[in-house]
Amino acid sequence: MSTEIINEEDINDSEELYEKLVIEISRGQEPLRIDKFLMARIEGATRNKVQQGIDNEMVLVNEKPVKSNYKVRPGDKIVVFDNRHPDSNEIIPENIPLNIVFEDDDIIIVNKPAGMVVHPGSGNPNGTLINAIAWHLKQQQPQLEESDLPRFGMVHRIDKNTTGLIVLAKTPKAMTNLAKQFFDHTVHRRYMALVWGDFDTDGGTITGHVGRHQRFRKLFTTYPDGEHGKDATTHYKVLERFNYVTLVECRLETGRTHQIRVHMQHIGHPLFNDDFYGGDRIVKGTVFTKYKQFVDNCFELCQRQALHAKELGFIHPTTRQPIHFESDLPDDMQQVIEKWRNYSKSKNDMS
């Protein structure tokens, strides 16, 4: 038997919260049932787990689900999606209000507020979006045991202090389908961001790899030469200029942790009030008393990085029809943008 593992994704450093193992079958492989093949290839795999994965379409061969009796052949490309998460603690349902934009039997779209962590982890054992989703599902299905509440629903995430749309899957099949769409970069994600400085052009593309900072492990950084981190692509377009700051639209192809924040810092335009990446101080412009007080007032209005996940579009995992969602800018970003708009207009009128 001869196989080659093409790629194994580490979910710790990605907003796309799924793990995948990609195996390409090389020459010399005799026909073998895929369930037996995977049991031999995946450490700790049991017949029951493999069977469940195949039944839930978490195993794809040449981009299509198969039955357990499918026999692997040379040239086959097998993708196995895994719903494990590094912080696989028990999920405790908590009665936390949710702004649900859309829900059916397969998916939930939530408009996440600032300050809410997506999933429990070190330092955030509760009060998260997943705790709230667990409560929501428990009300729908009271017979569910806490140990049965799904965590596989996370296929991506957004930062604690980023607002906006996030999709969660309610079934394993929906999870696999959405995970593949993220994997193929076919999910439409558009963010609105207020960033420091003005731009020489009306748009562009940033392609530097994104990975953990070599010294400061809580931070991420851009590696232009690609020696570290993972490939990351952000397309941006200028929407409105306010002299000292600019409102931009960012469209993601990849979903690396802090991707927009890190990419914008890399090109010299950190997000407004991003305390991780240098946006919480005056980056550009003449510093004088009135200007400094104005900026401090803006920081007070929007006490986080000014980033909002405005649009989310994908193919519905069951109906196979395209669906698209939008959410309004939250009040704090609307207020700070309006304040900068008025300030910029008054400066232009004076000049």
Output the pLDDT for position 11. Answer: 36
The answer to whether the beta carbons of residues 199 and 240 sit under 8 Å apart is no
> Which letter, b or e, does each residue of 230-254 get, where b requires 16 or more Cβ atoms within 10 Å of its Cβ?
bebbbebebeebbbbbbbbbbbbbb
The residue annotated as part of the active site, out of 159, 274, 280, 332, is: 159
**Which secondary-structure segment (H or E) carries 52?**
helix 47-55
Q: What is the number of alpha carbons within 13 Å of residue 20 lying toward its C-beta? A: 25
pTM above 0.95, yes or no: no
Q: How far apart are CA 226 and CA 88, in angstroms?
A: 31
Structural domains in the chain, sorted by start = 20-81 (3.10.290.10), 100-183 (3.30.2350.10), 188-350 (3.30.2350.10)
Work out the burial of residue 122: count CB atoms within 10 Å of its CB; fewer than 13 is exposed, 13-18 middle, 19 or more buried: exposed
Output the pLDDT for position 282. Answer: 85
Catalytic residue list contains 159: yes
Q: What is the mean pLDDT of each run of 10 residues along the chain (351 residues)?
A: 37 52 83 88 81 83 88 89 57 92 96 92 81 90 66 80 95 85 89 96 90 68 75 94 95 88 92 93 70 92 97 96 97 97 79 57
Q: Cα 177 vs. chain centroid, distance in angstroms?
A: 16
Output the pLDDT for position 18. Answer: 57
Output the pLDDT for position 2. Answer: 40
Output the pLDDT for position 289. Answer: 67
Output the pLDDT for position 148. Answer: 58
